[in-house]
Amino acid sequence: GRLEAVTQQMGYHPQYLDSFLKMQHYLMHMDGPLPFDCRHYIAIMAAARHQCQYLVNLHMLQFLRAGGDPQWLRGLDFIPPKLRNLNEINKILAHRPWLITKEHIEKLLKISEWSWSLAELVHAVVLLAHCHALASFVFGCGCEQDEGPGGRGSLKPLSPGSQCFCEATAGSGCSQELLRINRKRSLDSCMELDCLRERMQRIHVETEGREEMRLLQQDREEGEGRERRWVIALTRLRDSPLTDTDGEVTGATNLACYMQDPDFGYQDFARRDEDQTQVFRAQDYSWEDHGFSLVNRLYSDIGHLLDEKFRMVDGLQSSAMAKRLGCEPSVFKRGIWNYIHCMFGIRYDDYDYAEVNQLLERMLKVYIKTVTCYPEKTNSEMFDRFWKQFKHSEKVHVNLLILEARMQAELLYALQAITQYMI
């Protein structure tokens, strides 16, 4: 399965993994404002901003599985204007979220043939922030550099029943309940054809009735039709300019077709004493008091799932790291969280930022900033060589803090802009 490396890493904290998969399953596969194929294409656009081939390949397969048009995979020039218009906010959210204004929101929501609804835009914003942050985790834990035939970045044609992004395998250490929750998918997108044929064969043996035989034949024909459609789609994809001579999707150089202005990247947020309006005051607009209620109102229940995930990562223990520094685990985690938010211009009036330099060693700060702001620059040795005195599970915990703090920061800026537009 394409997600195995990520689930293995998150599996060091199974309670968090449970919460993560439930939120992601709801975001990608349950009822919501956006069509399923558009969700995966938006994920491709988001992952491409950080050159995350791992996530791009994964969502390309899921896009096809959801019935998406293979021509869209040729790049932004081949998608509807409505989706293409999302590129600007995707670019800003990924690299400099403090630049988002209500004018960006107004431009997307203006009355036209390609306008977005508020509910659709909130769904898209959550998707973008989720995939940007997940790209940080993928690079931070070395999933992108995984070795193997063709490398982790290669895309091989998988069967229609191959594991999807939200599914957990038996070897991932997840509970059976988690497996059940994340396999509630439609027959077309979740069951392997072999399993389908076995089920139909059991029906034939048990019933031996004419009606059952008729249904069996009908299901078999539909299953074979789905298989033929997949072969055609993947053949078209192999024949497109995106692929090499072996029929595999090539490396990160091709990701440029999914983004505009590729040179736009992170720049240090500079606090200017003469221009305090740039600083995002957490006391003026917070997730708990403002963001949660807005997102939950426009995209039902996603706020509860996001809030559970934020609380879950905050509740994870980092006793060894905190003990080494002689502080409480909560103090250490807050230092990391506030340092990440500070890099995006979010500041807390009740926090002494001198603590950050006391709590976080220079090398750890370099690692956190790299994974947070430009994860594509993370090399395969950073995870293993930094802070060797910490357990592997605690290194993963730091990457989970990066994932969640970054996602919340992007959401705060986007939701504040939406709120200002609504006012």
Instruction: Tell me the pLDDT tens digit for each residue of 275-312.
Output: 545 789 998 999 999 999 999 999 989 999 999 999 99
Tell me the pLDDT tens digit for each residue of 86-128.
999 999 999 999 999 999 999 999 878 889 999 999 999 999 9
SS3 at position 346: strand
- Please name the amino acid found at residue 6: V
pLDDT band at 159 (very low <50, low <70, confident <90, very high): very low
> pLDDT tier at 416 (50, 70, 90 boundaries)?
very high
pLDDT digit string, tens, across residues 360-375: 888 889 999 999 999 9
| Residues whose CB is less than 8 angstroms from the CB of residue 147 and which lie 6 or more positions away in sequence, other chains included | none
Q: What type of residue sits at position 405? A: A
Give me the pLDDT at residue 197, please: 46
Mean pLDDT value across residues 28-38: 96
How many whole angstroms separate alpha carbon 321 and alpha carbon 417?
Answer: 37
Q: How confident is the model at residue 219 (pLDDT cuts 50, 70, 90)?
A: low
174 in Cβ contact with 22 (< 8 Å): no
pLDDT-based confidence at residue 23 (cuts at 50, 70, 90): very high
Structure tokens at 55: 């996530």
Determine contact, residues 294/418, Cβ cutoff 8 Å.
yes
What residue ranges do the domains of the chain occupy? 1-145+255-422
pLDDT value of residue 110: 87
Residue 156 and residue 248 in contact, taking contact as beta carbons nearer than 8 Å = yes
CA distance 330 to 72: 46
327 is catalytic: no
Q: Is the pLDDT score of 266 beyond 80?
A: yes
Task: Provide the pLDDT confidence category of residue 181 given band limits of 50, 70 and 90.
Answer: very low
Dihedral (Cα; 133, 137, 139, 142), 10-degree rounding: -170
> What is the structure's pLDDT at 358?
87
How much is the average pLDDT of 158-174?
40
In 3D space, the residue among 338, 346, 339 whose CA is nearest the CA of residue 413 turns out to be: 346
pLDDT at res. 382: 77
More confident residue, 145 or 115: 115
As a whole-number percent, the residues of the chain with pLDDT over 90 amount to 53
Q: What is the pLDDT of residue 191?
A: 42
Query: Bigger pLDDT: 293 or 214?
Result: 293
Question: Highest mean pLDDT range out of 87-91, 247-251, 261-265, 390-394?
Answer: 87-91
Is the pLDDT reported for residue 236 higher than 80? Answer: no
Which of 10, 21, 4, 254 is closest to 146 using CA atoms?
4
- One-letter amino acid identity for 255? L
Among residues 52, 131, 190, 342, the one annotated as catalytic is 52
Residues in a beta bridge with 155: 249
Return the higher-pLDDT residue of 49 and 164: 49
Average pLDDT, the chain: 78
Task: Note the pLDDT of residue 78.
Answer: 96
pLDDT of residue 150: 33
What's 393's DSSP letter?
A: H
Q: Do 411 and 125 contact (CB within 8 A), yes or no?
A: yes
